[in-house]
Structure 1
Amino acid sequence: MIAEWLDIGSVEQLPALGARTLPVRGAREIAIFRTANGDVYALINQCPHKQGPLSQGIVHDTTVTCPLHNWRISLIDGHALGEDEGCVPTIPVKIDGGRILIGRKEALQGMA
């Protein structure tokens, strides 16, 4: 049986208010984010507007601002905020023993 979760590393390797990318063979790249309070989220690394790399955006509270056109995207559900419309697929995340685990099925498909 294949594990339901992928261990992608230690929470400590992910800086607060920062992001890292996770390339996935045959699927879209995933961006892993850590908020100031230590929560971790994962989204497909493409803004719904012009596919800007969200991992290069500014993380604040539970949102990330796209570096291309300043769209704010919720890290919780992937929806664009304010007057903007669109949604980024999210990837389930959990922390276990200081390790970041993401949903295997969603990660390999590159969509939620």
Structure 2
Amino acid sequence: MRVLATKKSNLIPRVGRSVEINNQKIAVFETTAGNIYALADFCPLTEGPILEGMVSGEYVYEPMRDFKISLIDGKIQEPDEGQVKTYPVEILADDIYIEV
């Protein structure tokens, strides 16, 4: 199911934006290159949010323990292990849709 999540004009590059769809907290990030990604706002290693993490390139650094998480596929990078759920994103004009 594709759901309108937010507007691209609401995003600030490298700063996460929180949306909630079907009781799921989702963090939406825009990179400095303009790419937009959506990940579950939950780190399985710290059991904390990733929303306030720092974005660098195609990665977000989890704010509690600085785990490096790929915005593309949600994989937590070595030497750590784990996976954050990712959501497909579609952008139509200023609208950002997330597939949940």
TM-score tier, shorter chain, comes to over 0.9
Give structure 1 stretches of 5+ with no counterpart: 107-112
5+ long unaligned stretches in structure 2: none
Counting only pairs closer than 5 Å after superposition, residues 15-94 of structure 1 correspond to structure 2 as: 15-25=12-22, 27-94=23-90
TM-score, normalised with respect to structure 1: 0.83
CA distance in 2, matches of 1:8, 1:53: 18
Considering only aligned residues, what root-mean-square deviation do their CA atoms show, in Å? 1.2
CA contact (8 A) 2:39 2:84 kept: yes
Higher helix share: 1
Q: TM-score, normalised by structure 2?
A: 0.92
Q: Paired residue for 1:13?
A: 10
Runs of 4+ residues deviating >3 angstroms: none
- Report the identity percentage: 34
Q: Contact conserved, 2:39 with 2:85, CA < 8 A, in 1? A: yes
Taking the aligned partners of 1:9 and 1:71, their CA distance within structure 2 comes to 26
Aligned residues between the structures: 100
Q: Structure 2: how far apart are the matches of 1:96 and 1:88?
A: 25
- Partner deviation per Cα, 1:42-72 (whole Å, 9 max, x = no partner): 0100112112211110011111001110101
Query: What amino acid is aligned across from residue 76 of structure 1 in structure 2?
Result: I
Instruction: Tell me the equivalent position of 2:92.
Output: 96
